[in-house]
Amino acid sequence: MFLSVYLSFCVAIVGWVGVGISTPIHDTHINYTTVTGYFLQDEASTNTSTFSFIDTNFGLINRTYATDATYDPNGKKTQWQRFENQVFRLNRGSGRKVQYKLVFMGRHGEGYHNAAESYYGTPAWNCYWSLVDGNGTVRWDDAQVTPEGVKQALAVNAFWASELKIQKVPPPRSYYTSPLTRCLTTANLTFSGLDLPSRHPFVPTVKEFLREGISGHTCDRRGSKTYIQQAFPSYRIEPGFTETDQLWQAYRREVEIDQDIRSKAVLDDVFSTDDETYISITSHSGEIASLLRVLGHRPFRLATGAVIPVLVKAETLDGPAPTTATVPYEAICTCTSPPAVGATTSTCTYATATPSIP
């Protein structure tokens, strides 16, 4: 069954039951906007290809706030402490239908699928190698992180430790992660061992709809619920999470509109059930791009291991949400034999024959 059929059925009948999102249809809906003026990543002048969140205090703009005069009259607080007070004041004066949350979105560290794409080149990766589980030496189905990916995640861990101690950055109070192994591992490497509040330890919730764009690429096929429970026993798994992957299909992929629909659904679930203001999401390049679209943020592509904080205004509005039609999965273009390593183009078809490694 195509994801679009699945989503349409769930929305029309009982909401998002079966994937941990049980939001029935209501006479209200949540509208999301990005509150700009606080982070460099929001600014059109920021170059996404050269920007470093580590070198820029997570991108927090060095500025004053209207609340500084009473909160920090002597100028002793850090930028993050003053920002935290500003967000507190925003929430305090927002009314019951508006909430502000700071969402830290982190991309997983480099995975073996990323390394394989770099080696083979994107044309050969997309039409051939991504459709098989590995090359006989390395596997990339539900890809593990590479040693470089581990290094990236540990660098972010060290950065968090410094920011918590020196800049007094408010740590996440809730943690969410994609069910794919590279994110499960990255989240653990990033947040384990930090000086976190005892009432808010690092215990992430695994959410199906935070996964990467669903495609025929084997790196995007998740492991079983049992595997996740055994490999990451301290993690929570959302209700309704199926034992096996019911969404992945060989040689087919979801389209952007369907990905944005599920991104909106998972944000609705988090914002309607989680009262915390500071939230961490560990996910993927494509899925974070989708979340940013839903939040009205400018496009901002993250390198492996990178993090982007987004100040979100969520307003509950009267009336049902605007209707968005889903469409079926589409076929992906495949090659019957692998293009040359480093090829810049490929000749592919929409045949469904299984590629075989020579």
52 exposure class (CB count in 10 Å sphere: 0-12, 13-18, 19+): exposed
> For the residues of 75-144, what is the DSSP string, one character each?
S-S-HHHHHHHHHHHHHHTS-TTEEEEEEEEEEPPPBHHHHHHHHH-HHHHHHTGGGSSB-SS-B-TTPP
Question: Among 195, 206, 205, which residue's Cα sits nearest to residue 170?
Answer: 195
Residue 129 backbone dihedrals phi, psi, to 5 degrees: -70, -30
Active-site residue 108, yes or no? yes
Query: Which tokens hold the place of 115?
Result: 């390394």
**Choosing from 84, 212, 238, 287, which is the catalytic residue?**
212
Q: How far apart are CA 327 and CA 344, in angstroms?
A: 31
**Choosing from 84, 108, 208, 217, which is the catalytic residue?**
108
Task: Report how far apart, in Å, the C-alpha atoms of 56 and of each of 299, 307, 319 are.
Answer: 19, 12, 41
Q: How far apart are CA 237 and CA 242, in angstroms?
A: 10
Contact 40, 29 (CB under 8 A): no
Contact 125, 140 (CB under 8 A): no
| Radius of gyration of the CA atoms of the chain, in A | 21
Dump strand ranges (E) for 169-248.
Answer: 174-177, 205-206, 236-237
Q: How far apart are CA 346 and CA 123, in angstroms?
A: 6
Q: How far apart are CA 51 and CA 300, in angstroms?
A: 10
User: What is the phi-psi region of residue 251: left when phi exceeds 0, alpha when psi lies from -120 to 50, beta otherwise?
Assistant: left
Strands 28-34 and 252-253: unpaired
Active-site residue 113, yes or no? no
Active site residues: 108, 212
